[in-house]
A and B are shown apart, each in its own frame.
Chain A
Amino acid sequence: MSAEMKPKKEGLFSKKNRSLLIDPMNANNPITVQVLGICSALAITVKLKPAIVMGLSVIVVTALANVITSLMRNMIPNRIRIIVQLVVVASLVILVDQVLKAYVYDVSKQLSVFVGLIITNCIIMGRIEAFSLGNTPWKSFLDGLGNGAAYGGILIIVAFFRELLGNGTLYDYPVVEWMGLYDLGYKNNGMMLLPPMALIVVALIIWVQRAKTPSLIEKD
């Protein structure tokens, strides 16, 4: 390895490494700021349970894909790197898919094609391209963990509101019924369960985030 890559003794959780983990949560959120990985994100946020499972799967795949490509980063020829990345990611997704089928079959059925679509999730390819091909495995692991978690976080926020307002339940527990709101004439908003509302909930999250962090507002 080159001279400037000489390891300067750096703690496992030094300040820089911690920021790798935490930055994606807000200032550099993959969904609301970088607009990556929305493809497979929104269709599975009707209920909390699939959203949580999906979030966990993406965390596993991003973190491991980052580590593996980072380990191989000096061996991959530049011209065919996309194919190599796709193969690494696809193998990991196959593993995740088989595990889901074995242990949580019903959720895996609900997620249907969206588990497979983790392969083309732009967050994963984006992090490999932008980060793990130029960084050490541990850093790439933290980066993957951070980005995966940030993605899962948004999924859970969206699913929370959609399930609560649309179905009156949370993680399949009938929360609204327990609070007795139905007796007062409260009705579920079935609209929240339809696909377009996912987009609008994400738009609202973006609105809140950008109103709080004005530096993120787009010019013109």
Chain B
Amino acid sequence: MQDILNIFVKSIFIDNMIFAYFLGMCSYLAVSKTVKTAMGLGLAVTFVLTITLPVNYLLETKVLKQGALAWLDPSFAELDLSFLSFIMFIAVIAAMVQLVEMVVEKFAPALYSALGIFLPLIAVNCSILGGSLFMQERAYENIGQATVFGFGSGIGWLLAIVAIAAIRERLKYSHVPAPLRGLGITFIITGLMGMAFMSFMGIKL
């Protein structure tokens, strides 16, 4: 239980997708003009991360890793398919996003119209593929840890984008040097927020 909690806190604050690894910056910058849309995108990212990570975890441990196919036939024990992981992960993510889109459209039309435009965009959001690749690199022990890591990373991303959106709403009323307006100042603020988040480093439960 404790290690799960630890992974959760770590993935939100210390290994924050945006402030520590800059993943998903494109949509982070493009969709952070108002808090409402930022919230929508953040929720969608959290949702997709939480469901793609367990699937990719199974794929990694049961199919791709060296010797992972041994459950099928002992003669596959030498097989190492990990060079295929990029294309498999991205295929799973694209398929899951499509699936989620259809399910949400059918059963939760209100949520669908709120997330609508963002859902298809998520397939090419770096933080989703990044989550799967970090999961592969860090070799989590079981599917629970991988899922919690996905959920935590999503929450961290949500936190970051909502915070920057709130700041940008206020920023409209401040006097920023002309060449820095818009993009430049957003970068600087993200940098400052990143520094603030670094104070969480070393927290352990």
Contact = CB atoms under 8 A, between A and B. Distances in A.
Interface in B116-138: 120, 123-130, 133-134, 136-137
The 6 closest A-B pairs by CB, nearest first: A196-B194, A218-B182, A210-B179, A39-B126, A203-B187, A199-B191
Interface string A179-214: 000000000000000111111101100110111001
A83 B22 CA distance: 24
17 contacts: A39-B127, A40-B23, A90-B87, A90-B90, A97-B83, A97-B86, A98-B83, A116-B129, A117-B129, A119-B129, A125-B124, A199-B187, A199-B191, A200-B191, A206-B187, A220-B172, A220-B181
A27 interface: no
Contact of A199 (B24, B137, B194): B194
Contact of A217 (B21, B30, B178): B178
Given A38-B29, A87-B87, A122-B124, A195 B129 contact: no
A37 interface: yes
A122 B124 CA distance: 8
A195 B123 contact: no
Contacts of A199: 22, 187-188, 190-191, 194
Contact of B20 (A86, A91, A195, A210): A195
Interface of B: 19-26, 29-30, 83-87, 89-91, 94, 120, 123-130, 133-134, 136-137, 172, 177-185, 187-188, 190-195, 198
Contact of A120 (B21, B125, B178): B125
Given A196-B194, A206-B187, A207-B184, A38 B133 contact: no
A214 to B, nearest CB: 8
Given A90-B87, A117-B130, A199-B191, A43 B21 contact: yes
A113 interface: yes
B190 to A, nearest CB: 5
Contact of B24 (A39, A86, A210): A39
A166 to B, nearest CB: 14
Contacts of A98: 83
The A contact surface, by secondary structure, is: helix
B98 to A, nearest CB: 9
A200 B20 contact: no
A94 B87 contact: yes
Nearest to A115: B86
Most chain B C-beta atoms within 10 Å of own C-beta, residue among A35, A125, A197: A35
Interface residues of A, number: 47
B134 A113 contact: yes
A203 B179 contact: no
Contact of A206 (B20, B123, B136, B184): B184
Nearest to A197: B191
A220 B181 CA distance: 8
A51 interface: no
Most chain B C-beta atoms within 10 Å of own C-beta, residue among A37, A90, A116, A214: A116
Interface string A59-90: 00000000000000000000000110011001
A196 B133 contact: no
A72 B53 CA distance: 32
A94 B24 contact: no
B47 to A, nearest CB: 18
A214 B178 CA distance: 9
B22 A42 contact: yes
Contacts of B30: 35
Given A112-B137, A203-B185, A206-B180, A40 B123 contact: no
A203 B133 contact: no
Given A37-B26, A119-B129, A217-B181, A195 B94 contact: no
A70 B134 CA distance: 32
B24 A83 contact: no
Contact of A36 (B24, B26, B181, B198): B26
Given A36-B26, A120-B126, A196 B191 contact: yes
